[in-house]
Structures are given as C-alpha cells and as structure tokens.
Structure 1
Amino acid sequence: MLTEPEAREQLEEILDQQEYQVYYADTRNTLQIWWDEFKAWLADLLSRLFPSMENTSGTAGNIMILVIILVIVILGAFVITYLAKNNPFGRNKKNKPFQSGVELEWSFQQHVNEAKKFEEVGDFSLATRHLFLGLLLNFHERQWLEAKIWKTNWEYYDELRREQKELAQFFFDFALLFDRATYGKQKIEKDDYLSFRDIALKWLNDAQQEI
C-alpha cells in the first residue's frame, strides 16, 4: 500500500500527462482573452464605484455591450446627418429656384441681361443665379419643362431627363452651382461661373436661331 507522499507523487505524475493538461490549457483566442480581461477590469471598476452592484464579469459585459450599441447608434446618426447635409440630390429635392413670383414673370432674356450686369461688376454669385433662372425659363418656353414657383431643381431635372437627356446632366451640375450661390451663400469664382456660362449661352443662342 502506498504511503501518502508516494500517492501524492503518483497523482502529480498522472496530472502532468498531456491528456490531463489539455483540460487546463487556455483555448481562447486573443480577442476572447482581451474581452474577458476587459470585462474583469470593468467589473472591478463598477464594484468600486457602486459597492452595492454585484461584482460579476457578466454584468460588466452586459453594460459594455449596451455602451457599444449606444456608440454605434450615435455614430450612425452622425453619418446619416452628414450625408444628408452633403448630398446634392437631397439639396435639390427641397430647394426651389424661384424665390418670388416676380422672378418667374421675367423673361429669360431679362435674367440673362441681369446676369451680364452682375458679371461685369464681378458678382459671379448673382450672375450665376440669374443665368440659371434665364436658362430655366428658356427651357420652359421650349416646353422641355414647366416652370412653377413651387417646383424644385430636382423636379426640373427629372422632367429634363424625360425630354432632353443630353441636357439633363449639365442642368444638374449647373443647379449645384446655383445652390452654392443661392442657398449655400458661397462666393462663386469667375472660372466656375464662366465654365457654365459658355455652355448656357450656347443653348440660348441655339434657341434664338430656332425662332
């Protein structure tokens, strides 16, 4: 019969064998180890801040999950807000080019003449506005769209896509410049204005030749 020291030594030899050690091996990956350590740290912190709270990693893990969800929701709201503010389609859907009935009653030539006046004094923001409105009214006269004070640039763009597909993209890009000048209160530079003016005047000259 084995003595107690001999029995203890034999038991230790058995437990040292590989088939027993595998039960004690840490099979967690790096992320799992980090997560468990973080939960333990958070549980300890919570127990210090709130002594009455049960000090368990499960409680800490649940709180951490809620915090992560909250962060994701906040970031999602921020991204959606940012995209809404910087999405040109969104701006065009709500912005109406005609701010008064008077602007709608002017002829397209009156707007073009007004654009030339502002161009001469270097106010390319207002020149952009009037040239765009003149072009819009010209398209109305040519029955490519129907100008209404309540309509938005997006609605005009949608009409042009049906009537004049080759012109729709230019109109859309010009509408973005118009939005920057009118609603964004941005100063339009000369080069930006001239790049659209030349194409717009070409369409207007073509219209006069048709008459």
Structure 2
Amino acid sequence: MRKLHFFLLLGICWAGILSAQKDSLNISYDTDALEVKTISDSDLSKFYEDKAFQYEVDETDPTWWDDFKSWLNNLMLRIFENIFGIEEASGILAAFIRLVPYLLLGVLIYILIRFFLNINASALKQASKNKALVSVSEEEHIIKNENIQDLINQALAKKDFRLAVRYSYLQVLKLMSEKEIITWELQKTNDDYLNEIAKTELQNPFTSITRLYNFTWYGDFHITEIEYRKAEKTFLSIEKIISSNG
C-alpha cells in the first residue's frame, strides 16, 4: 500500500514538471509594424554648433608675449631649482612666476613714462631758456636803438598795458645807464642793477617797478588800464629822480 502511494506521488510530481516545461517552450512574437526614424541635417546642426560636442582644438601660433612668458617661466624655474632645489613650481610659487611677466611689463611702462616725461621737461626748460635769450637780445636792441617812448605810446594806443609796462621799465634802465647810475650789460639781472643803485631815493621805487615788471612780463599776468595808470606814476616819478641826477 505504501508503494502505491509512493508511485502516485511520483507521478503527480512528474506531470507538474512536464507541464512547466511545455509552458516555457511557448514563444511570443511582436507583430507590430516597425517605424523607421530618420535623422536630418537640421537635427544634427544644433549638435554641431554646441561647444560641448566640439572636440577639435584650433591651434594658433604663439605670440611674442607667449614666447616671452614661457622663456621667463623657464628661467625662473631654473633659478629656483639652482638656489632652492625646486624642480616644479606649485602653489604660491607658481602664481608668483605667472605674475612676474606682468610685473616686469609694469616696470618697463613706468620707466618709459618717466623717460618721456624727463625729455618733455628738458625740452620745455630749453625752450624757456631760448625764449629768455631771445627776450634779452631784443631788450638790448630796444635799449640801444629804439625810441622807447614811441613804443610806449604805440602799446598804449593798442591798450596792450602789459607791453607798455615792459617798455616803461626798459626806459628806466636806459635812462639810468645814460646817467651812469647803472652799467647796463646783457648778462646782468634786475637784482644786479638794484645793487648798483647808490641813491636810496631810487632803490625803493626801482624795487617796486622791478616787481611789477617781473609779474606782468615774465609771469605773463594780465594788467588793466587802471593798474597801469597807478604804475605809470611810479615810472614817471623815478624818471624825474633820474633826470635830476645830473
């Protein structure tokens, strides 16, 4: 009886295995129609233009600045290698080496600016010196050859009171030279003439007109008719003193 039960149980198990094998052999087929998708050039163009998909690198020739930086970087590395034994720059040292070319460029620009400023300053100084020489040479001609009173009258007629002050001052120098109060010479300064004046009554008014002359003529200050008329009184006063020196 036990054998019968065993064979029945074995038969049931075997039937289950065969059934499972039969089910696994069933094949399913996809009968839907295939849809073929095409990719046009317009679809690809957006990828061509996207920099994320551009893998070609444009190679350009290094500029002189690139060559200079490369040369300087190599030079600095050799210096640090020889002195400190550093074969490769990193961190602060690498940043410093990258900064060196720009520091040198800044120093060079500063030197060039100072150089051209010095040239311009020297040129202006020389031009001023030449102008002064021309002015002194012209003064010599006026004192020795011109009727200064006529020149004063012409300047006043044109209302050029600055020029009138100049001629009035030269008139005083000419009169003092003729009276031998001073010895007029081309290289002398107005202070030299002041030191030559022996009479105290001439020293103060001459100092006053000398200051006015320097301010208006050499200082290029504008002077009005009212200011000139005040100065004219001093000029006439000193001319009167000179004339009485006889």
Partner in structure 2 of residue 146 of structure 1: 183
Query: Are 1:62 and 2:110 matched, yes or no?
Result: no
Check if 1:50 corresponds to 2:83. Answer: no
| Structure 2 counterpart of 1:159 | 192
Q: Give the aligned partner of residue 135 of structure 1.
A: 172
Give the TM-score taking structure 1 as reference length. Answer: 0.51
Gaps of 5+ in 2: 1-61, 74-96, 198-202
Contact 1:140–1:147 under 8 Å retained in 2: yes
2:210 matches 1:177: no
Is the CA contact (8 Å cut-off) linking 1:98 and 1:104 kept in structure 2?
no
Post-superposition Cα deviations, 1:102-146, rounded to whole Å, max 9, x if no partner, equal 75145xxx5336524653664435533432221110121232433
Q: TM-score, normalised to structure 2's length?
A: 0.45
Counterpart amino acid of 2:67? S
Q: Is the alpha carbon distance of 1:69 and 1:157 closer, same or farther for their aligned partners in structure 2, counting shifts above 3 Å?
A: same
Give the distance between the partners of 2:209 and 2:228, measured in 1 at CA. 13
- Percent of aligned pairs sharing the same letter: 12
Q: Across the two proteins, how many residue pairs are aligned to each other?
A: 152
Q: Which has the larger radius of gyration?
A: 2
Counterparts in 2 of 1:195 and 1:93: CA distance versus 1, 3 Å: farther
* Larger RCO, structures 1/2 (Cα 8 Å, 6+ apart): 1
SS in 2 for 1:104: helix
Does 2:104 align with 1:71? no
What amino acid is aligned across from residue 203 of structure 1 in structure 2? I
Shift of 1:203: 0.5
2:238 to 203, 206, 211: 203
C-alpha distance in structure 1 between counterparts of 2:135 and 2:151, whole Å: 22
Runs of 4+ that moved beyond 6 A:
83-86
Alpha-carbon distance in structure 1 between the residues aligned to 2:126 and 2:212: 18
